[in-house]
Amino acid sequence: MPAAPTDALKPRKTPRQARSAATVDAIFEAAIQVLLTDGYAGLTTTRVASRAGVSVGTMYQYFPHKEALLYAVLEDYLEDVVVALDEAAGQLAGKRLAEMSDGLTLAYLDAKMRQMPGARALYVVAAQLETAGLVDDIVRRSDEIIARTLATAADARFDDVDAVTFAYRTMLVGVVRAVIESDGTPAAVAMLRAELPVMCRSYLVASATH
């Protein structure tokens, strides 16, 4: 279950339990668009409401201020990554290690890239808000999924699956973030999609006992 935000960042209504998911989705999309055009400092709830085609009153039914809105956008984005990993893990359990590695790596990468170019803006959001609890929770849940899946590999075993999981996830997160923050062009993403699975697979195969 996702970590609860601090009181200052709590939405007035939980977005995914709110009466109109379509309205919340429109607000989230508008927030990303305003971030890209106006930056973090230039984003206001009024601008987001206008871009989303909703009234300011409707906006305030969900989010009391821009920090609560942006926290919810970031949480939604990170939750999609965890869900993508979990869905991939369900299909990869018991497979050979190379297939497992490629599947997990591409599931993570595709989920992260789904919001491009907004993903780059969300790194700025994460740096501006009190997100340590949220990020720690996402890391914990991701590691649980990865470790659980690696432990089922048909052709490999790990002496310390938790340590291997930590190194694999750190590699995955660090390389993707470096590319998103420094470039993020279609060419860079294509390079990442070709090379990242090779890097991760090589590490996992080298770390396993057969």
Closest CA to 18 of 48, 54, 67, 50: 54
Architecture of domain 7-207: Orthogonal Bundle (1.10)
In order of 55, 149, 206, the CA distances from 137 in angstroms are 33, 19, 29
- Checking if the pLDDT of 1 tops 50, the result is no
- Checking if the pLDDT of 12 tops 70, the result is no
User: For 107-130, how does the pLDDT look when each residue is reduced to its tens digit (9 = 90+)?
Assistant: 999 998 887 778 888 888 888 999
- Asked if 110 contacts 117 with a C-beta cutoff of 8 angstroms, the reply is no
User: For 26-73, how does the pLDDT look when each residue is reduced to its tens digit (9 = 90+)?
Assistant: 999 999 999 999 999 999 999 999 999 999 998 888 898 999 999 999
